Structure 1
């Protein structure tokens, strides 16, 4: 729903700019693993240990595909399976320290890449982005809530 004080088309224009920026940035990240593998590691970093079935839903893949992906992450030393202390029948996937380090390093590489681009902007453009930070943070929060809703 468009707010009364938002110019027509502004939401779509900003959405298109953010989407284009995010997709181009994703394509430029190192290709040392699939996007689904990297996303799975990021999910584990953000949410903590999860069941394979929960990870499959969160990443939009089948349970058998997630089982294979987790096996590959285990072989790479980035994730491990552990029993759930509250339910011995359940196995949880969790990040290893190497997996957490990978996520932090990848995230920092993205931050650094954007910082280099921002350094190419004019002072007024940097000020405009800085002024938009509260809105961008709120947008990320809203997206996080929407993602959590779709995981259910």
Structure 2
């Protein structure tokens, strides 16, 4: 190992690669065609659990009014529900329903099925490099979501 150096991370190059990948990735599912923000809310609730409307406003980077309207539509469609916040009787928490969780799970399964053949076209070294990067990518997401 003497003499080997880890190449420095070019943040701009990483940003460009992630943007290119995201452009491809967000278009993979062929089911449940909902708006990006709507799907983002469902994924946030599936990942983080129940949250207040104000937290959704912050995580989804939309106005309080837009989040309220979206949650109302999602509630009407049976994908989320509002329940009283047990720690504050004046507030409500938005919960994902079983139907909403199924939308998230179905989209993940569809993405998995559609991405697998693309990954098979990569070399073993490329697949290994992606596998090795997964913990770091998860850590970036964790750090980026931290207050």
TM-score (norm 2): 0.85
Deviation at 1:74, TM superposition (A): 0.6
Question: SS where residue 59 of structure 2 aligns?
Answer: helix
Q: Which runs of 4+ in 1 moved over 6 A?
A: none
Count of matched residue positions in the alignment of Structure 1 and Structure 2? 142
**Secondary structure, counterpart of 1:27 in structure 2:** coil
> 2:138 aligns to what?
140
Aligned to 2:13: 13
RMSD: 2.1
Question: How far off its partner does 1:6 sit?
Answer: 2.0
Gaps of 5+ in 1: none
Return the offset for 1:11.
Answer: 4.6
**Kindly tell me: are residues 34 and 28 of structure 1, through their superposed partners in 2, closer, same or farther at Cα, counting changes over 3 Å?**
same
Higher RCO (Cα < 8 Å, 6 or more apart) = 2
| Aligned positions of 1:21-60 closer than 5 A | 21-30=21-30, 32-60=33-61
- Contact preservation (8 Å) 1:118, 1:126: no
By percentage of residues, which structure has more helix? 1
Matched, 1:79 2:80: yes
Distance 1:116 1:37 in 2: 28
**C-alpha distance 10-71 of structure 1, shift in aligned 2 (>3 A):** same
Contact 1:39 1:59 in 2 (8 A): yes
**1:107 Cα deviation from its structure 2 partner:** 1.3
1:93-148 Cα offsets, whole Å, 9 max, x none, are 00000001111111121122211211233xxx133322432323212222221123
